[in-house]
């Protein structure tokens, strides 16, 4: 018996070993083993049994031990690991480390980092001598001499482009000190373990909920892979649907994974879920990043052994070693928190979908504001859409009203910040002692150019993305393909003069509000305010308690905030956010607006949302036409479509070992071919366009960009191939890719 083992030893290569007689019965694919490598022993994972061996058989050594007598990875997880390795271009070793908790890997590789510092301050003569004899060492020495703190070895090596041999020589000489630091995760006290478990009585489902429970139940019973997207307005009782699905799976003897974004994993949520499952006699494992090693091991073994069949947890809970997986719930599926921002840079939601496919399970994605890629998959027929339109508390959805700002401009013959309608509404609220939120979108830095008379926006002829105005040299640039030209003096569409403006500051809005509501108490929430953290909290608390009448803010006022007395939400400048050449930014804007708007209104009366725009027919406000949240979905698809990121592989980031332009080129060419296949039409690869080296925190980065543009005008396709090279450290960026498109 011969096994292929992926050692957890710092390199990505499958090594083959013979298996001793004593271990033959218990070793399987997915088992953790101890293997000899050169003169040391390392832990490794058995990737295959009796596979093809490419070295002479007499070279094989023997497996020296087995860590557990059951495999650490179930077959579906093993396949998932291989998929992630290729899909996220992450090293196999790092994928395995993400999937198997350190405690299970026997604590062998307590994460350790090496640091270097100067142990000797060389004189100028010594340095000069060194520079002549050993230039590499002198560079390193000079760098270290200027550091106040020990520098991380791995980072230093690649930044200065020197090898470990250089360091060793200096250490031997006694000029450099090398120290090892163990990175220990802080184990928080588990506030959830002690928290009281409340057994909640399942509320009665309304008709909509019941229909969806049946629909999801049908998928579960079939035992085939299916994805349901549950699109439910705020407060429509999505959780109850999840709970029913999980309970059904548990009752049938299967296992379920319930994913929640880390921030949403509060003691209350956990207590509620636990209460429900444990009342029915099911042990529930809670999984999040603040668990101690011991707690992690306990939870993991409970799941692996089948003692527990439900896990509620954050992102990494997708890797729970459950047996007989039948359901994965992904709550708030649009949340960016599902992305892991260190290697392996995976997306929890996408991995959930793929794992469900491998396990022939049902995946239930839910959100009030689903992501574009999920909508797109509904449209493609790959996901099934279930909609909850009614709130369980019967609170009414807000009314949307669109204001055409071009008319406002003509009416007042001048600068307008707030429309008459919005002002009237605000004044009425003030008299009734109700509150208003004014939402300003300033996402991004870039300003597009828009005619305030006719609403015309200058777009890139290749990319149909608004061009960015650069004041310094009076030019318009496309941030996608780099197309550049002089900024026009008059509107190219209606010849109106002076179109060179865009963007509203919070201050200007504040002034405008003061003019129309001189006695109102107002506050601004923007990045300036955010700088002082307690100030931000203070403002929110004042707003909640009614000490503030009007809150003017940018992005951050949306999230999870509940203001019971807000009955009006104004989107001051709907256009701006729509012309930022990044669909992800547009998506966020919509989501924020819906979140804020969804909370507008009181029990007795629907709230109102006023959207001010210069382009009332634009996608930006399409959703409001239907005056409900279903229109929102349509609007999102419009945006998607408009930007034409073809197979939804909008950003392809890759990681390279060191700044290696050749490799980047190779990948760019590879992806260009993929895009060509997906589009069925010829694609031209342009580039490279290296960016200047920029300093980010204490690291230097540069990017090399390639663009694919389709030659045929029919599909104005454009894919941005961006290779981000955190120079010189290795970086793989998140692949913002839709997993379904690769199945």
Partner DNA sequence: AGCACGCCGACT
Partner DNA sequence: GTCGGCGTGCTC
The residue among 305 and 660 lying less far from DNA, judged by its C-beta, is: 660
- Strand extents, DSSP E, 585-682: 601-602, 605-606, 608-613, 651-653
CB of 12 to DNA, least distance (A): 8
Give the nearest distance from C-beta 118 to DNA in angstroms.
16
* Closer Cβ to DNA, 15 or 572, answer by number: 15
Interatomic CA distance for residues 345 and 741, integer angstroms: 18
CB contact burial 652-667 (16+ within 10 A = b; e otherwise): bbbbbeebeeebbbeb
Give which of 546, 641, 631, 638 is closest to 597, Cα–Cα. 631
Q: Nearest distance from residue 95's CB to DNA, in Å?
A: 15
Is 454 annotated as a binding-site member?
yes
Q: DSSP labels for 616-638?
A: TTSHHHHHHHTTSSHHHHHHHHH
**Which of 263, 203, 241 has its CA nearest to residue 327?**
241
Q: Identify whether the C-beta of residue 583 lies closer than 8 Å to the C-beta of residue 469.
A: no
Q: Please, what is the minimum distance in Å from the beta carbon of residue 74 to DNA?
A: 25
Region of residue 465 (phi > 0: left; psi between -120 and 50: alpha; otherwise: beta): beta
Transcribe 250-280 into DSSP letters. HHTT-EEEEE--GGG--HHHHHHHHHHHHHT
At its nearest, how many Å lie between DNA and the CB of residue 669? 23
Nearest to 679 by CA among 721, 718, 622, 634: 718
DSSP assignment letter at 592: H
CB of 101 to DNA, least distance (A): 21
Question: How far is residue 212's CA from residue 703's CA, in Å, rounded to a whole number?
Answer: 46
φ, ψ of residue 373 to 5 degrees: the values are: -65, -35
Nearest Cα residue to 77 out of 282, 275, 272, 323 = 323
Q: How far is the CB of 90 from DNA (least distance, A)?
A: 14
Q: Is 708 marked as a binding-site residue?
A: no
Query: Smallest distance, Å, CB 561 to DNA?
Result: 44
Q: How far is the CB of 41 from DNA (least distance, A)?
A: 10
Distance of closest approach, residue 19 Cβ to DNA, in angstroms: 11
Q: How far apart are CA 283 and CA 492, in angstroms?
A: 67
Spatial CB neighbours of 38, under 8 Å, sequence gap ≥ 6? none
CB 322 within 8 Å of CB 257: yes
- CB 26 → DNA: shortest distance, Å? 19
Measured from the CB atom, is 39 or 545 closer to DNA?
A: 39
Smallest gap from Cβ 109 to DNA, in A, equals 10
**Residue 172 vs 413, nearer CB to DNA:** 172
Nearer to DNA, 32 or 633 (CB): 32
Q: What is the phi/psi pair of residue 130, to 5°?
A: -65, -40
For residues 23 and 378, which CB has a smaller minimum distance to DNA in the complex? 23
| CB contact at 8 A, 389 and 208 | yes
Contact between 735 and 88 under an 8 Å Cβ cutoff? The reply is yes
3-state secondary structure 687-728: EEEECCCEEECCEEEEEEEEEEEECCCCCCCEEEEEEEEEEC
Nearest to 120 by CA among 138, 152, 145: 145
Tell me the three state secondary structure of residue 526: coil
- Tokens representing 33 are 């083993």
Q: Give the span between the Cα atoms of 20 and 33, in whole angstroms.
A: 12
Which positions touch DNA (CB under 7 A)?
Answer: 9-11, 13, 15-17, 36-38, 53-55, 59-61, 114, 132-137, 154, 161-166, 169
* Tokens encoding 662: 């050749």
Cβ proximity to DNA: between 136 and 506 the closer is 136
Residue 612 φ then ψ, to 5°: -95, 130
- Give CA–CA dist 710/717, Å, rounded: 5
Task: Look up tokens 């260190």; give the residue.
Answer: 342
Place of tokens 């454009």: 718
* CB of 143 or CB of 225, closer to DNA: 143
Burial of 224 (0-12, 13-18, 19+ CB in 10 A): exposed
Give the single-character DSSP code of 128. H
Residue closer to DNA by CB (options 47, 291) is 47
**CB closer to DNA out of 114 and 391:** 114
Q: Does 363 belong to an annotated binding site? A: no
451 labeled binding residue: yes
Q: C-beta of 113: minimal distance to DNA in Å?
A: 10
CA-to-CA separations, 340 to 203, 248, 261, 299, 404, in angstroms, rounded = 35, 30, 11, 21, 41
Residue list for the binding site for Zn(2+): 451, 454, 460, 463, 478, 481, 491, 494
Instruction: Write out the binding residues.
Output: 451, 454, 460, 463, 478, 481, 491, 494
């Amino acid at each position: 018996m011969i096994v292929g083992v992926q050692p957890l030893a710092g390199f990505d290569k499958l090594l083959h070993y013979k298996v001793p007689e004593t271990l033959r019965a218990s070793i399987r694919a997915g088992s953790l083993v101890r293997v000899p490598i050169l003169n040391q022993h390392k832990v490794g994972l058995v990737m295959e049994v009796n596979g093809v061996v490419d070295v002479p058989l007499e070279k094989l050594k023997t497996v020296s031990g087995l860590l557990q007598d059951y495999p650490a990875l179930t077959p579906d997880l093993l396949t998932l690991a291989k998929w992630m390795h290729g899909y996220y271009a992450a090293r196999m070793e790092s994928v395995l480390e993400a999937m198997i908790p350190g405690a299970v890997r026997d604590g062998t590789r307590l994460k350790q980092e090496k640091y270097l510092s100067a142990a000797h301050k060389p004189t100028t003569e010594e340095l000069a001598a060194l520079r002549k004899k050993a230039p590499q060492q002198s560079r390193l020495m000079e760098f270290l001499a200027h550091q106040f703190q020990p520098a991380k070895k791995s980072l230093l090596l690649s930044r200065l482009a020197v090898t470990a041999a250089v360091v060793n020589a200096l250490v031997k000489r006694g000029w450099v000190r090398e120290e090892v630091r163990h990175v220990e995760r802080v184990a928080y006290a588990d506030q959830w373990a002690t928290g009281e478990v409340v057994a909640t009585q399942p509320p009665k489902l309304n008709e909509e909920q019941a229909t969806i429970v049946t629909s999801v139940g049908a998928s579960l019973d079939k035992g085939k892979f299916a994805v349901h997207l549950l699109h439910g307005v705020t407060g429509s009782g999505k959780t109850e649907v999840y709970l029913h699905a999980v309970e059904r799976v548990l009752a049938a003897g299967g296992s379920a994974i319930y994913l929640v974004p880390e921030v949403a994993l509060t003691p209350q949520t956990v207590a509620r879920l636990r209460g429900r499952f444990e009342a029915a006699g099911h042990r529930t494992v809670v999984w999040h990043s603040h668990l101690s090693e011991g707690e992690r091991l306990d939870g993991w073994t409970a799941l692996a052994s089948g003692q527990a069949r439900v896990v509620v947890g954050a992102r990494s809970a997708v890797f729970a070693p459950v047996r007989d997986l039948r359901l994965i719930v992904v709550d708030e599926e649009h949340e960016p928190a599902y992305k892991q921002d260190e290697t392996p840079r995976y997306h929890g939601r996408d991995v959930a979908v793929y794992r469900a496919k491998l396990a022939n399970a049902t995946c239930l994605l839910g959100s009030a504001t689903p992501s574009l890629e999920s909508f797109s998959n509904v449209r493609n027929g790959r996901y099934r859409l279930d909609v909850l339109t009614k709130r369980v508390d019967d609170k009414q959805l807000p009314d949307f009203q669109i204001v055409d700002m071009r008319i406002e401009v003509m009416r007042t013959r001048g600068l307008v910040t707030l429309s008459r309608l919005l002002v009237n509404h605000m004044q009425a609220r003030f008299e009734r002692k109700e509150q208003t939120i004014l939402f300003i979108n300033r996402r991004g830095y870039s300003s597009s150019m828009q005619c305030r008379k006719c609403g015309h926006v200058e777009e890139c002829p290749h990319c149909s993305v608004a061009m960015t105005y650069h004041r310094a040299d009076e030019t318009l640039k496309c941030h996608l393909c780099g197309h550049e030209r002089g900024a026009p003096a008059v509107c190219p569409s209606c010849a109106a003069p002076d179109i060179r403006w865009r963007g509203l500051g919070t201050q200007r809005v504040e002034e405008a509000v003061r003019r129309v509501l001189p006695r109102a108490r107002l506050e601004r929430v923007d990045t300036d305010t955010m700088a002082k953290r307690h100030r931000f909290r203070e403002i929110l608390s004042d707003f909640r308690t009614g000490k503030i009448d009007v809150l003017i803010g940018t992005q951050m006022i949306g999230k999870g905030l509940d203001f019971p007395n807000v009955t009006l939400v104004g989107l001051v400048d709907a256009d701006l956010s729509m012309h930022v050449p990044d669909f992800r930014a547009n998506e966020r804007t919509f989501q924020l607006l819906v979140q804020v708007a969804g909370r507008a209104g009181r029990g007795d009366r629907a709230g109102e949302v006023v959207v001010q725009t210069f382009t009332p027919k634009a996608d930006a406000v399409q959703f409001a036409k239907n005056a409900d949240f279903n229109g929102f979905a349509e609007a999102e698809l419009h945006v998607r479509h408009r930007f034409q990121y073809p197979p939804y592989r909008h950003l392809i980031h890759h990681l390279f070992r060191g700044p290696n332009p050749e490799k980047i080129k190779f990948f760019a060419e590879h992806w260009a071919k993929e895009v060509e296949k997906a589009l069925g039409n010829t694609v031209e690869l342009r580039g490279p366009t290296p960016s200047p080296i920029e300093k980010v925190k204490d690291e230097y980065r540069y990017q090399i960009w390639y663009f694919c543009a389709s030659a045929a005008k029919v599909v104005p396709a454009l894919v941005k191939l961006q290779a981000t090279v955190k120079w010189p450290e290795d970086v793989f960026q998140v692949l913002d890719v839709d997993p379904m498109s690769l199945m």
